[in-house]
Structure 1
Amino acid sequence: MDELNITPIFIMGAYRSGTTMLASHLASSEHAIALPEMPFVLDIIESNAKTDEELSSLYNQLTQQFHYQASGMSITFDEFAQPFKSNAPRAERVFHILRLHFGLSQGDKRFWIEHTPHNRERVEKYLAVFPNAKFIHIVRDPRAVYASMHNLIRWNSQDPVAFAKKWQRAITYSHLACCSQPDITFELNYEEYVTEQATILPKLCRFIGIPYTREMNAGNGIKLPQYTLKQHQLVGQAPDATRIHAWQQSIDKREAEIIQSECQPWMKHYGMTLLLADPKPITLKETLRYKLKQRLYTPLSKLKRLKDKLITSHTPQ
């Protein structure tokens, strides 16, 4: 089948855990392709649109989505509708627009690296459509993730307990996916990858089936949209092991303690450093203070996201 010339590699995990960094390294291979996050893939493969009216509605919904506009793709309605009208397999709907965007011929073999963190919740749905897919879970110290999000207004992460619950949910989905599909999943620790890339990246490439080259270490495989350049300023560079513990200067000790108290079982499972033997849980007074701070930052976060959307929608493709 022609569509199997493209092998999907889905990276998953919690937000701000290195999914884009890892995708950029893998997509640096001449055998791989990647775009910014493509959460709209699910909309395409699950659609039952058949008539021109239905397809036009789907196309308009797709092209108006923030992530589609940020991806840099520019496809016409006729190009988009062709696989639907020819009753091609659902996977071909996605592969068709990837070939058009990257200028690939029908027979070109490529590994498609898709790095939306929420892939963790779509493993079964993707396998039903992409039977040759593989999945990678990258997990990062939650204190470092919180520090990364805490310092970016877009994320509005000011409440360590609310953050911890979301992080645990993401890890649970990702880890269970790895447990249920051990032959087609690969799990790695962000901190270990950063310090031992020379060993782990070749191993990861063998799992995928992609030839490893040293040029992949720097990671220049994704053209990032303008709005995300600041938060991904380290993407396109070799991993910097000196930054692993930078979170300790970005959040206060009490926030780190609260996060450890909430996430400790998973942190132990992944061998993360525990700074306290018996971390104290959050108090009622602290809960109210953090919730108030989160609420105060919410308008700023919404404004930042609106600004990002406006920048993206007015950026030439």
Structure 2
Amino acid sequence: MTTESFRPIFVLGCPRSGTTLLQQMLHSHRRIAFPSETRFVHTSYEARHGFGDLERAENRRALAEWITGGRDTKFKVLELDAADVIEEIVHGPPTLGSALAAVFRAYARRHGKPRWGDKRPSYFRRVPMLQRMFPDAQFVHLVRDGRDAVSSLMGMPWFKGDIYAAALTWREAVDIGTNLAARLGPRTFHELRYEDLVAEPEDTLMKLCAFIGEEYDPEMTRAYEHARRTVPSTRKWHLRTHEAVNTRRVGAWRDRLEGWEADLVGHVLNSRLLHHGYSLSEGSRPAAAHLARFHRLAAHRWRTRHTQAVRDRLAEAREPNPVASRLAGPVPVA
């Protein structure tokens, strides 16, 4: 065991890159509790000013009731007693990070594990937020061949974008991942490829466990047993987590993308694909109209990100309390 063995772990990556599979694998580790997406971390951070000074117990209670019963959260997936969690937050340290950590620690305690993590693909855009609340966190970035990720994303009933938005999302995710790797360093940031995870799961998971400071647990490769109990069959896009890991979906983009789509995605992602070890296929240069549309969307998103960054700095200046968690160390388990 290392001194890093109790740091929170966050899994992130472009949607449809295998983050749910990795979450199930991590939860199957005997020491780590890793729930499915809860959706109350980023929303509570965005709403933090509305709860006022958390030094006041009534404000901590309002925050706790919002986390456990809010319309936009998925607290129920944790199967925790809301009343107990509310009291734990009310009697805990007066920071937002502490309130959120109390929820995850309660989940870990329920599973008899001393460590917790959380997964959400879009966390790749939220690492500064997560670091503010959990300064000792570790980040695991899962990368999948952009052509496979994009073609899979296009088939999701909840995805409202088009091929341009899907390709740009993958590009943003890997670019941010590259920057995070350089900025955070190897003790805080670890990147792995989906293709390696499904082709050589034991070796890939051993390297991941070395990063997070844990001994490898063979149960991680049998995560499908846990997924069959916890991933509902109604979520058809996650049913492959019910199977033992396999490589059948590697390269599926060849059957999923139309010719012009494959040409576009391959062209706008080519340097990033090569950087992450993916081979390129021959194709035609995309039509000028398709490239122009992609680059217009890229420019729009760049402006949106920078506008949001300014708003975030202003919001930080108005915070009534620090946001960093004061709950550290192992989760007490029986």
Residues 112-261 of structure 1: pairs in structure 2 closer than 5 A: 112-157=116-161, 159-182=162-185, 183-220=187-224, 221=226, 224=230, 226=232, 229-261=235-267
Letter in 1 for 2:17: S
Q: Which runs of 4+ in 1 moved over 6 A?
A: 285-288
Q: Relative to 1, partners in 2 of residues 1:42 and 1:143: Cα closer, same or farther, differing over 3 Å?
A: same
Q: Relative to 1, partners in 2 of residues 1:95 and 1:141: Cα closer, same or farther, differing over 3 Å?
A: same
| TM-score, with structure 1 as normaliser | 0.76
Offset at residue 154 of structure 1 (A): 2.0
Question: What is the aligned counterpart of 2:104 among 80, 98, 119?
Answer: 98
Offset at residue 173 of structure 1 (A): 2.0
1:13 aligns with 2:19: no
SS of corresponding position for 2:238? coil
Q: Distance in 2 between matches of 1:109 and 1:218?
A: 18
Q: Distance in 2 between matches of 1:169 and 1:286?
A: 17
Q: Distance in 2 between matches of 1:17 and 1:25?
A: 14
Greater shift after overlay, 171-180 or 198-207?
171-180
SS of corresponding position for 1:187? strand
SS of corresponding position for 1:281? coil
Deviations 1:271-299 (A, max 9, x none): 212112x64124438989xxxxxxxxxxx
Letter in 2 for 1:127: Q
Q: Distance in 1 between matches of 2:159 and 2:207?
A: 33
Task: Structure 2: state its 5+ residue gaps.
Answer: 294-334
Offset at residue 269 of structure 1 (A): 0.9
Q: Relative to 1, partners in 2 of residues 1:57 and 1:87: Cα closer, same or farther, differing over 3 Å?
A: closer
Q: Relative to 1, partners in 2 of residues 1:236 and 1:66: Cα closer, same or farther, differing over 3 Å?
A: farther
Q: Relative to 1, partners in 2 of residues 1:86 and 1:161: Cα closer, same or farther, differing over 3 Å?
A: closer
Question: What is the aligned counterpart of 2:286 among 281, 284, 293?
Answer: 281
Offset at residue 102 of structure 1 (A): 4.6
Cα contact 1:59–1:77 (8 A) shared by 2: no
Cα contact 1:33–1:111 (8 A) shared by 2: yes
Offset at residue 228 of structure 1 (A): 5.9
2:319 counterpart residue number: none
Offset at residue 270 of structure 1 (A): 0.7
Cα contact 1:41–1:94 (8 A) shared by 2: yes
Cα contact 2:61–2:90 (8 A) shared by 1: no
Deviations 1:163-192 (A, max 9, x none): 212221222222211211113111111112
| TM-score, with structure 2 as normaliser | 0.73
Letter in 1 for 2:174: I
Identity over aligned pairs, percent? 25
Q: Distance in 2 between matches of 1:34 and 1:43?
A: 19
Offset at residue 95 of structure 1 (A): 3.0
Q: Distance in 1 between matches of 2:131 and 2:271?
A: 29
Greater shift after overlay, 38-47 or 266-275?
38-47
Cα contact 2:14–2:170 (8 A) shared by 1: yes
Greater shift after overlay, 67-76 or 201-210?
67-76
Letter in 2 for 1:284: A
SS of corresponding position for 1:35? coil
Deviations 1:179-219 (A, max 9, x none): 11113111111112221212111111111112212221121
Deviations 1:245-273 (A, max 9, x none): 22211222221111011111211111212
